[in-house]
Amino acid sequence: KYQNPVHSTARVLPKDYPDRELISPFPVPLLIIGSKYDLFQEFHSDKKKVISKTLRFVAHYYAASLIFTSIKSESLMSKTKSFFSHLAFGLEKGKTMCCEPGKPTIIPAGSDSFSQIGSPPLTDVDITSLHAKNPKDLWKKVFERVFPNESASEQRELKDPAKDPQYSEPQIDAMRAQKDQELEQYKRNATKSWKGLELET
């Protein structure tokens, strides 16, 4: 009798994979891309350290590759394409690895380890006071402490770009205003028609 194995979709890692017993591999090969490296470089060094180390932890935890790239760098884009070629077609992924501060992070899956990543970079608070349930939760709490989520009340209201004077186009705006008036008139006429039908019934 045919039985479908429960773990048929599980991704099997080599026995010598770093921290093999401590990680939770993503079901398929995964590549995490930091695609705005040119903007990332403008961040304060402490924030860059938190972002880099947190992404390294996440990538290693899910047995993923990690690369920082930018469309403004042909070299980084070439390295990114080589990762895609490796994942899609099984081509050689290259042995380039970089996790030095001040340089774009490039870490193929299986090249990092928790001991190399170290503990979360937080100096202004006792990590034990964060009451994390597990290492992944700890990294999440540290990241949110440095980059707190804005509450709904604090988030800026989304503005209608059609009403923004920065994007004004006199002819288009006049036509839009005319169409808006026609739409309102149509709605009023439709409402009257429905009311007439209700009275007749």
**How far out from the chain centre does Cα 138 lie?**
19
In a domain, 118, yes or no: yes
190 and 97 housed in the same domain: no
Which candidate, 74, 136, 84, places its Cα nearest to that of 104? Answer: 74
In a domain, 19, yes or no: no
Q: What is the pLDDT of residue 4?
A: 46
Cβ atoms 13, 107 nearer than 8 A: no
Distances (CA, A) of 149 to 12, 14, 99, 101: 36, 38, 27, 26
> What pLDDT tens digit does each residue of the chain (201 aa) get?
444 444 445 688 999 999 999 999 999 999 999 999 999 999 999 999 999 999 999 999 999 999 999 999 999 999 999 999 988 888 877 678 999 988 999 999 999 999 999 999 876 767 777 888 999 999 999 999 889 886 544 555 555 666 667 677 788 888 888 888 888 887 777 776 665 655 555
Cβ atoms 117, 56 nearer than 8 A: yes
In a domain, 179, yes or no: yes
Structure tokens at 103: 């340089």
Structure tokens at 191: 């409402």
Total tally of structural domains belonging to the chain:
2
Model pTM score:
0.68
**How far out from the chain centre does Cα 105 lie?**
16
In a domain, 113, yes or no: yes
**Structural domain range at position 194:** 166-200
